[in-house]
Chains A and B, each alone.
Chain A
Amino acid sequence: MLRIGIPRALNYYKYFSLWKTFFENLGAKVIFSPPTNRAILDQGAKYVVDEACLPVKVYFGHINYLKDKVDYIFAPRLVSVEKKEFSCPKFMGIPDMLVTNIDNLPEVIGPTIDLTKRDNNLWKIIWEVGNIFSKNPGKIAMSWFKGVSDFKKFNQVWLNKSIPREFKITHLDKDPGRLNIAVIGHEYILYDGYLSMNLLEKLAKLNVSVFTSEMIHPKMVNKEVSILPKRIFWNFAKNLLGSAFYFSKQAEISGFINISSFGCGPDAMTSSMIYHHLKTKNNKPILNLTIDEHTGEAGINTRIEAFYDLLKRRVG
């Protein structure tokens, strides 16, 4: 049985249900790397330039963990998942960065997923990738459809305002007495307990209900960002921005936590836009957390607690 390794980083948090079902139905054994830990980060930081952002370093660490344990590594070049929108330059260069920096890699399956102009080349990619595991077109198509159906189920959990069980994060549902905070951040930081320093868990311990951008329907996000004169051409950053705009109008949301990694290009721009929006339109408090490999947990804890106290006092 062919083993395919998928790093538990970057796009994993969004698409793993799709990939897992797809590859397993094709008869491959899917191996995920373990949740991020110090060793993985340190290994990753060795392989990639200092200036890269933390999530990319972690990604390299996960690849390094997997490289001796699998026959293939799945590292797609995710250029775009929506028309006229991109992911981020680093996502677009990932397979090339991997191949040039890590020696002794198993074969990398790195299809270019570019749906900027039209989406009918998606089938070509599915066919190419599926072909490695099965020569049966019916089986490939079947696996894909099963994957998509699992992916939809998985997303529905988010849309029901809760966090998928797979991430093993304690999440409190909405309750009249609780404080509601919108946490704005990329899913590969938020749901990676090591990178976010268990931010969501910590909020749950403080008896706070958390709302994240995945809980907002994409159509709603698009509607919210359409008020801007200029298209936000990064898909992931657009989701953060749109959901922040949406949450800012909800009376029950009393504050915002914005978490991003040092050196994140899109966030540098959208954070500023969120900040201006909240300041001019709704006057809701926001806490900005920036993480890198030197961030200390104690400092983050203090800031979260202080912010919590502030909100408590405001809400009364």
Chain B
Amino acid sequence: MILTFPHMGNMYIVVKGLLEYLDLDVVIPPFSSQKTLNLGVKYAPEFACLPLKINLGNLIEARQLGADTIIMAGGVGPCRFGLYAQVEKEILHELGYEYDTLVLEPPDKHLGQFIMRLKKIIGTNSWRKVIEAIKFSYQKACAIDLVERKVQYLRPREKRIGTVDIIYKHVLNTIDNAQSYISLQEATGLGLLKLEQVPVNDDLRIIKIGLIGEIYTLLEPFVNLEIEKELGKLGVEVTRSLYLSEWINSHLLMNYSKREKVKPFVQLAKPYLNYFVGGHGRETIGYAVGFSQEGFHGLIQIAPLTCMPEIVAHSILPKVREECNIPILTIYVDEQSGKAGLVTRLEAFIDLIRRQLENQRRIAK
């Protein structure tokens, strides 16, 4: 049995950590690329959202490397993500790729069956070891986020553009290779130290942008056309509404290690959006309000084309923009998106914000 899973940003490090801790065979699909996308677009339903197409591409590529069992997250609606596993399995079956699937989601009717399947995958490992593995891989996710936040802070400030990302890549590798808590701590600590040594400009006027929107497009650089790097080049410090460890905690671990019980974004989203709309629609609105209260200069919403929850959020955002007085740019991505078009829009948006700030400063004088 050789396991695989679809990509989502740095998620592969966490899942690999989990499965290797349990001594299971795992194949990581090649990083999402144009080839992956082409495969997905070829076989996926035309009007399905982009993540499904890329997931499908990942699974086809993993199959060619010998994987035969899929582990992926699921859901119980109303976002389309909940049916990904079902639809992908059908398509793969038609292509002649027989996969075993384990979908991590609240079981609907067959709790016993779910446990049986889980047992088949974990094999002879004890439940205690599984829990240890989950804890360890969750620590990896937290470490990645810690490093990533530092990277987001440094990108607009570094003297030589690109330095931070070279170190970032290296640190991710060492975190990926860490086999124990000690080596994980070492990797994280050393990584942060290295990042702190990067020469920075102190006299810059940094623009702070909040990145909000749908999780997959937020976390997967191939899909968002490396928007964070591009913004870094424009002197923008980016903060996302979603980080990997938070999603793992809320979606997969059922808030096991949650500090606060009440979700702040729910309160912030009122009175604009008063009910959940699936996916991360309410988070988008809530964080938009939250970021504007924290003094961010602008917001960028990013989502796959036809994403239902984000369309709801998108149509409510103009009111947030008006009442919180913050510029918002919405970007939809699909298989047709090109980087040049994105960069032009980002430049224009950042120019607009800079000019606005300049005017405010002049008036203040």
Contacts and interface: CB of A to CB of B under 8 A. Distances in A.
Interface stretch (B22-30, B71-79, B119-127): B71-79
Contacts of B156: none
Interface string B313-327: 011101100000000
**8 shortest A-B CB distances, which residue pairs?**
A233-B77, A93-B312, A86-B78, A272-B45, A268-B47, A100-B319, A89-B308, A265-B308
A101 B273 CA distance: 12
B278 A92 contact: yes
Q: Interface range on chain A: under 10, 10 to 19, 20 to 34, or 35 or more?
A: 35 or more
Contacts, number: 130
Interface in B260-281: 272-279, 281
Given A89-B309, A90-B308, A97-B312, A230 B86 contact: yes
B223 interface: no
B94 interface: yes
A87 B308 CA distance: 12
Interface string A76-111: 010100001111111011011100110000000000
Interface string B294-315: 0000000000011111011011
Given A77-B275, A86-B77, A272-B45, A49 B311 contact: yes
26 contacts: A49-B315, A88-B78, A89-B309, A89-B311, A90-B277, A92-B78, A92-B276, A92-B278, A93-B277, A96-B273, A96-B312, A97-B315, A101-B319, A229-B86, A230-B82, A232-B83, A233-B83, A263-B311, A264-B47, A268-B49, A269-B80, A269-B87, A272-B45, A272-B90, A273-B90, A290-B47
Given A49-B315, A269-B48, A276-B90, A86 B275 contact: no
A51 to B, nearest CB: 5
Given A89-B79, A97-B315, A276-B94, A263 B306 contact: yes
B97 interface: no
B85 A230 contact: yes
Interface in B62-112: 74, 76-80, 82-83, 85-87, 90-91, 94, 103, 108-109
Given A89-B308, A267-B47, 17 more contacts: A49-B311, A51-B332, A86-B278, A88-B78, A90-B311, A93-B312, A93-B316, A95-B274, A96-B274, A101-B318, A263-B311, A268-B47, A269-B45, A271-B47, A272-B48, A272-B90, A272-B91
